[in-house]
Structure 1
Amino acid sequence: MDNTLLRYTDLPIGDRAAFELVCARHGFAPAHFDISACTDPGDAAHERFVTVRRAGWAQCYRDSRGQWIRQFEADLTSRFFK
């Protein structure tokens, strides 16, 4: 697996805008989170796994066309990262 450290500014523009909006809705700034992504070269679709970390908590999401942002927001709603 290729593991590349990303920040929210490294995300595609659509994902970045959605990430910023979700963070703002829940009282966070994108800088409050560390984002890393890895791809599985054995996966025919070459989907990424996006890992979001904050204050000792981490969650990994499958990036199927931006769906990770919805899952991330669900975790913020359930206060996983607080």
Structure 2
Amino acid sequence: MDRHRFNYIDLPIGERAAFELVCARHGFAPVHFDITATDDPDDASHHARLLTIRRGGWAQSYHEDQAGHWIRQFETDLNCRFFK
């Protein structure tokens, strides 16, 4: 599995804007989070990635898809104060 670190600005433009907005709504900046990506092991065609977002000692992984559902899952985690 190929793992590489990238910045949130490497996300597709729509996802990047949504990520920035979600962060701002919860009092964070995108730079408060470390993001890594790997090929999604559940996607046989390897077109999707598994994004892992870290802050401090906390980490959560999300399946990146075309619809951007991972951003809603990330915001749910912020609502639950997972990353605080």
Q: TM-score, normalized by length of structure 1?
A: 0.92
Per the alignment, in what secondary structure is the counterpart of residue 54 of structure 2? strand
The runs of at least 4 consecutive aligned structure 1 residues that moved more than 6 Å come to none
Alignment pair present for 1:48 and 2:57: no
| Percent identity for Structure 1 against Structure 2 | 65
Contact 2:35–2:54 (CA under 8 A) maintained in structure 1 = yes
Secondary structure of residue in 2 paired with 1:72 = helix
Offset at 1:45?
5.3
Aligned partners of 1:45 and 1:7: how far apart in 2? 21
TM superposition score normalised by structure 2: 0.90
Gaps of 5+ in 2: none
Unaligned runs of 5+ in 1: none
Instruction: Kindly indicate whether residue 65 of structure 2 is the aligned counterpart of residue 69 of structure 1.
Output: no
1 CA distance for matches of 2:30 and 2:21? Answer: 9
SS at match of 1:17: helix
In 2, the alpha carbon distance for the partners of 1:14 and 1:39 equals 20
Across the aligned residues of Structure 1 and Structure 2, the Cα RMSD in angstroms comes to 1.5
